[in-house]
């Protein structure tokens, strides 16, 4: 297993819509093992492949109930609304109060190509939406209002992520 460096804000891979996964189960298992190790080490509750520079539609997550993986996932249902201080391993150290649907259901596949479905309220619903956003090249900043986003960008520019090291 291997721990990957996590790509941060400003890396173009994070703004790229990832491509559908068609790899065999063995190589996906290796990728999932590496992604989980990287996620737990961070630590985080979810990690999408683009965050380690792999532009494929797969994510791993664990909200404290054990790890799960979704390949080629899609949100199929949302409802309600929930405001939560949301963070992202690719924008480390920042949290923004973001309102999204409270409940989400996602359908996709496991690494063997068998259909899987995950759903939930609050943190589970949030993780499903956040990770699938990553696969669509979208960071949580895009879920802020224009004014909030402007403020957030200013904070990022003035903070460590805005340093030359991350450009």
Using the minimum distance from each CB to Ni ion, give the nearer residue, 24 or 74.
74
- Shortest CB 13 distance to Ni ion, Å: 13
The neighbour count for residue 96, using CB atoms within 10 Å, is: 19
Burial of 85 (0-12, 13-18, 19+ CB in 10 A): exposed
For every residue of 28-76, DSSP letters joined together read HHHHHHHHHHHHHHTT-SEEEGGGGT--BSEEEE-SSS--EEEEEEEEE
Using the minimum distance from each CB to Ni ion, give the nearer residue, 24 or 122.
122
Distance from C-alpha of 151 to C-alpha of 140, rounded to nearest angstrom: 14
- Shortest CB 62 distance to Ni ion, Å: 14
Quote the Cα angle for 25-29-56, to 5°: 80
With CB atoms as reference, the residue minimizing the distance to Ni ion is: 88
- Shortest CB 112 distance to Ni ion, Å: 26
Using the minimum distance from each CB to Ni ion, give the nearer residue, 16 or 27.
16
Active site residue: 65, 77, 119, 131, which one?
131
| Residue 131 annotated as catalytic | yes
User: What residues contact 125, with CB distance under 8 A and at least 6 apart?
Assistant: 78, 82, 100, 101, 102, 103, 104, 119
Residues engaged in binding Ni ion (CB under 5 A)? 88
Using the minimum distance from each CB to Ni ion, give the nearer residue, 22 or 95.
95
- Shortest CB 158 distance to Ni ion, Å: 21
Q: Hey, which residues are catalytic here?
A: 131
């Amino acid at each position: 297993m291997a721990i990957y460096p996590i790509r941060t804000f400003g890396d173009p891979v994070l703004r790229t819509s990832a491509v559908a996964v068609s790899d065999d189960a063995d190589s996906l298992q290796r990728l999932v093992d590496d992604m989980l190790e990287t996620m737990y080490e961070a630590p985080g509750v979810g990690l999408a492949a683009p965050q380690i520079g792999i532009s494929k539609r797969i994510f791993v997550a664990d909200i404290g109930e054990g790890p799960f993986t979704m390949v080629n996932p899609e949100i199929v249902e949302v409802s309600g609304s929930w405001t939560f201080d949301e963070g992202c391993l690719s924008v480390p150290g920042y949290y923004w109060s973001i309102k999204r649907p409270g409940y989400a259901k996602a359908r996709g596949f496991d690494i063997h190509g068998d259909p899987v479905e995950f759903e939930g309220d609050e943190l589970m619903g949030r993780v499903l939406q956040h990770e699938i956003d990553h696969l669509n090249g979208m960071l949580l900043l895009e879920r802020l209002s224009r004014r909030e986003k402007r403020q957030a960008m200013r904070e990022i520019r003035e903070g460590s992520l805005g340093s030359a090291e991350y450009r």
